[in-house]
Amino acid sequence: MTTGTPEPPKGTTALARREARLAYGLLAPTLISVALVVVLPLLAIFWISFKPIGLADLRPPAPVAREQVRGEGEDLRVEYRLRNSSQEEVITGVVLTDVLPDGVMPSGDLPPECALDGQVLTCRIDEMAGGYNERLIVPLAGAGDPDTLEDAAEATEPTVTGSANSILTNTTFTLENFARVFDGDEFWGVLGVTLFYTVFGTIGALLVGLFAALLLNKSFRGQGILRGLYLFPYVAPVIAVAFSWLILFDPFSGSANALLVQMGVTDEAINFFGDRPLALVMVTVFEIWRYFPLSFLFILARMQSIDSDMYEAADMDGASPFQQFWYLSMPQLLGILSVLFLLRFIWTFNKFDDIFLLTGGNAGTRTLTVNVYEQAFAVSNIGAGAAVAVVVFCCLVLFSIFFFSFMSREEGL
């Protein structure tokens, strides 16, 4: 029996600890970048969603001073226009300070709020109510050319200070934004449109991509050129392809309507992007057409990595092409199809630009992301827009949890 110093458990040696510290050090820039780019904006959205913030409230309330020199000679005067940048919040302790140039002095009584100490003019205003807009007039006098005096008086900029309660940073919270989001049947209609657009757009893009990959998985002349053409919808600028579709399906001058009328399919032009529910179907078809190349690219790459010996053996055993696809190809493609479904579902659920360019959210195509834009900018309610964004985030988190739990259960089987 031999005795000796037992080896330390794996991962607890000095070298292992140094390697762990090095690994964390190398990951630190990435973690910090993710925190700055992803986590902090996400926390800001959650914060804003519980506050009654309008578009104008993003800039905190502050006193604003504007100086103007008017008149000439004995009527020379300086006017300070003071206003509150907020229409609701009160600003307290407002102090305006301006330094009069040498040779320029007040020629009459100062406003009751103002006092002069040497060449320093100080005006104290106890409180500025919401929407405050007043003027302080100080008459001036001085020796020399009037134009020179005017230029000298305008040479110095006044400074104004004050304190106010900012809706953005205070600790006042409310659930009004979420109550507004879930009020009535509008939200559930928008959610239904979003789910229809997302589910059918995602599944359609995967199916069309799978079909295209099956077509181009064989070697033939011109294969590379055709593969490049298949990628055109995905790499083309979204503005260009969206307006191309609008022109193509225009009810007055579109080629599609002209062709349908000439063929006798319809007696009058069809407003593809203006009628319900056709507009929703059209934007979903556009989603499928635009993003199937991504699925096609990944599925084709996975297909070409499958060992061809299996297909040769199956062919010798008399398996039909459909049986080879279903029993040989599909099990090999389930992994990449699952990843593509997850990514495309999340991206389509968050999609905004396609629908906004095609319909602007009209004709029954208003999704949650379009609703975020309308609440935040069209209605100028940033808080309600952030609340809708939080709902979008929660929906995607629930979907991800369900997806991964389902995938884990399938893998366990």
DSSP state letters, 208-234: HHHHHHHHTTS--TTHHHHHHHHTHHH
- pLDDT at position 6 over 70: no
Residue reference for tokens 């929407």: 131
| pLDDT tier at 170, thresholds 50, 70, 90 | confident
pLDDT of 194 strictly over 90: yes
* Mean pLDDT value of segment 65-92: 81
pLDDT in tens, 364-377: 899 999 999 988 88
Taking the alpha carbons of 363, 364, 365, 370 in that order, is the dihedral positive or negative? positive
Nearest to 180 by CA among 352, 49, 55, 56: 49
pTM for this entry: 0.78
**What spatial distance separates the first Cα and last Cα of the chain, rounded to whole Å?**
47
Q: How many CB atoms lie within 10 A of CB 2?
A: 3
Span 202-225, average pLDDT: 88
Q: State yes or no: pLDDT of 7 exceeds 60.
A: no
Please indicate whether residue 173 or residue 106 has the higher confidence score (pLDDT): 173
Which of the two residues, 80 and 7, has the higher pLDDT score?
80
Looking at the predicted structure, is the pLDDT value of residue 70 above 80?
no
For the residues 243-252, what does the mean pLDDT come to?
91
State residue 279's pLDDT score. Answer: 94
β-pairing, 77-84 vs 133-141, is antiparallel
Q: What is the mean pLDDT of residues 307-322?
A: 82
Q: What is the pLDDT of residue 152?
A: 66
Residue 265 half-sphere exposure toward CB, CA atoms < 13 A: 10
- Identify the band that residue 413 occupies on the pLDDT scale cut at 50, 70 and 90: very low
Domain architecture of the chain: domains with CATH: 61-164 (2.60.40.1170), 184-380 (1.10.3720.10)
Rounded to the nearest integer, the mean pLDDT of the chain is: 85
Q: Quick check: 4 pLDDT over 50? A: yes
In this prediction, residues 41-56 reach a mean pLDDT of 87
